[in-house]
Structure 1
Amino acid sequence: MGFDPYLAYYHSIDYGRASLASDLNPNEGVYLRREALKRYFVEYEGMLNREFIRQETEENTTFQKCFRLQTERLASCIQNTIPYIPFELGI
C-alpha cells in the first residue's frame, strides 16, 4: 500500500509535480551543494536506522519502521474513517 506522490491534500494537481511532496514542504525549500547533500543523506540514513524504544509499545524500533507504520495508519484512517493516531516522540 502506498500513496500517489502526485495527489495531495493541500496542493492541487499540476502536471509533472509531485504535489504530495509540496504538502510536506510548502516553503521555498533548501538547496545544498553536492558534497553537503551526500553528507546529509548519510546522516539521514543513520538517523532512520538508529534504534530507540517507542513509548507506545515499549519495544525497540527505528524511525524507518515508525514512518511505515504512520503511513499505514493514515491510509487506514482514510479508507476506514477511523481516527488517526499520531506518532509521539516523547522528548
Structure 2
Amino acid sequence: MSLKGKQESETIGGVKFTFQHPGIEEVLDLKDRARNEAGQVSDKEIAKELFEHVIFAEIDGTMQKVNFAFFEDRFGSMKEYKEVIKAASKFLFR
C-alpha cells in the first residue's frame, strides 16, 4: 500500500485536523527544504512545509490549509500548535 495520499485525522482543541501523506520522496524533499544554512532542521520552516503539504483543518465542513495565523487567531496559544505539529510529524515520519 502506498503512503502517498494516506490520511489520518485527529481532533485537537475542538478542531478536526487531517494529515495527508505526500509520499516518501516528498517527505525527504520537504525535510531538506526546512534545513537552515548550518544543516539543521528549522522548527519554523518544517512547520511551513507541514502546513503546505500535510496539515488540513476542517472548518465549517470544508478542509482548509492552515498557517501560523490560524493557530494564533483560533487558539491564542502555542499548546494546540505544538500538539498538531507533533501529531503531523508522528504521522509523517513513522
Normalised by the length of structure 1, the TM-score is 0.27
Bigger share in strand:
2
**Larger-gyration structure (1/2):** 1
Q: Which has the bigger relative contact order, CA under 8 A and spacing at least 6?
A: 2
